Amino acid sequence: MTNFDEMPPHVAQMVRIVNLIGARARGRELQVSLPRNLAHWPGMLVLYYTALQPLHDNGSLLAAIDAVIADGRRRGHAVSGALGNTDLPDAETATAIRDSLANLVPNAMARMIPVVSLLLRLLPRETDNAR
């Protein structure tokens, strides 16, 4: 993953811009890794912005993110019985972990699932090149 100080300024700016796509509230403060990984291909950052910013603006990307969160909660609840008994961390550690996950899950993980799915649909498939 490329650090911001290793990127040309125009690429770093584009990384910061696309990082906000799909972000809300605290998510706007979180730098997800995908845009930094795509800094090697500035044209892909432009495509990311061009294709996904309208979906952010019209709310459909945000709705997809909300659906991922809801589905994850349902599925997690469905399999939670298999966890068994574990020793619980102390209250301070449990609070810190809960706070971290409450930020990370909706603002990074759930956000990237629809984003990556959409970006992959923009790329040609290997079979497209076989013709």
CB atoms within 10 A of CB 4: 14
At residue 88, the pLDDT reads 83
CA angle 56, 73, 16 (to 5 degrees): 30
What's the predicted TM-score (pTM) here? 0.86
Give me the percent of the chain exceeding a pLDDT of 70: 97
Task: Please give the Cα distance from 22 to 28 (Å, whole number).
Answer: 9
Is pLDDT larger for residue 50 or for residue 82?
50
Tokens in use for 59? 């709310």
